[in-house]
Amino acid sequence: MRSAEGAFVAEGVKVVSAALEAGVPVESVYVAAEGRDVPAIVDIAERALAAGARVFDLGPGVMSRVADTVTPQAVCAVIGDIASPLERLVGRRPDEDDADRADGRLLLVCVDVRDPGNLGSLVRSASGAGADGVVCCEGTADPFGPKTVRSSAGAIFAIPVAVAGAPEEILRAARSGGFRLVATTAHEGTDYAVANLTGDVCLVLGNEASGLPESLLGLVDERVTIPMTAGTESLNVAMTGTVLCFEIARRRRLA
């Protein structure tokens, strides 16, 4: 639906409620037969109608035939395209609109992050840590696919997310926009505890299995590593991004 109609599906009370709370374009809401008397779903239906969305009651068994999950939720919604323009995130330097961001900006760039669960977790962590946006380069899972949206737990509606092309172009644009490029590597990077994470940081995260290619690592300003005890190879990309996002947030709170 997303590629053909410019829209995507959000499933479940928590995610659909987050969409309505964020004021994103909810086009329609679908309520399964077993959800019609659930107070939280009744509330969603009322809020959706008030926002101008259409609400449809589904017959028994219909949701299970159209939902993405094995055990479908009793409510889902069709959301209009909310992808953020790439230039909004990487293509400009700070101006007077950023006067309150004396602590610097934080941008996540995902390169070939294939697992929707990992991507959704990264979006959730980026939002929770106060990041300014997430950029998904070619090869990365669809940030507006059902599994990613569910994994974000509604955070996809709280932070700008852009879908982009070649990572080399994105990194060059981010540098032109005033960002310092910091890549995560499993080994041989600067210990994240002492790495320079100040100012406007573009955190670059790579593929779950192979990380970032050397061609991209050659473009960054610093490589950082989270040290592990013997016998543990590395954290997965979602955990790595989460640790670094909140390390940056911690330092900025203490600055």
pLDDT confidence tier of residue 214, bands split at 50, 70 and 90:
very high
For residue range 101-114, list pLDDT tens digits in order.
Answer: 557 999 999 999 99
Q: Do both 25 and 117 map to the same domain?
A: no
Question: Would you place residue 99 in the very low, low, confident or very high pLDDT band (cuts 50, 70, 90)?
Answer: very low
Considering the entire predicted model, what is its pTM? 0.91
Residue 66 and residue 91 in one domain? no
| pLDDT above 90 for 10 | yes
Residues 138 and 250 occupy one common structural domain:
yes
What total number of domains does the chain contain? Answer: 2
Beta-strand relationship, 133-136 and 106-110: parallel
Q: By residue range, what is the domain housing residue 55?
A: 2-80
Neighbouring residues of 104: CB distance < 8 A, sequence distance ≥ 6: 198, 199, 200, 201, 252
Apex 200 CA angle, 196 and 174, nearest 5: 115
pLDDT for 98 equals 52
Q: What is the pLDDT of residues 30-71, one digit of tens each?
A: 999 989 999 999 999 999 999 999 999 999 888 877 666 656
CATH number for 148: 3.40.1280.10
Which CATH number does the domain housing residue 40 bear? 3.30.1330.30
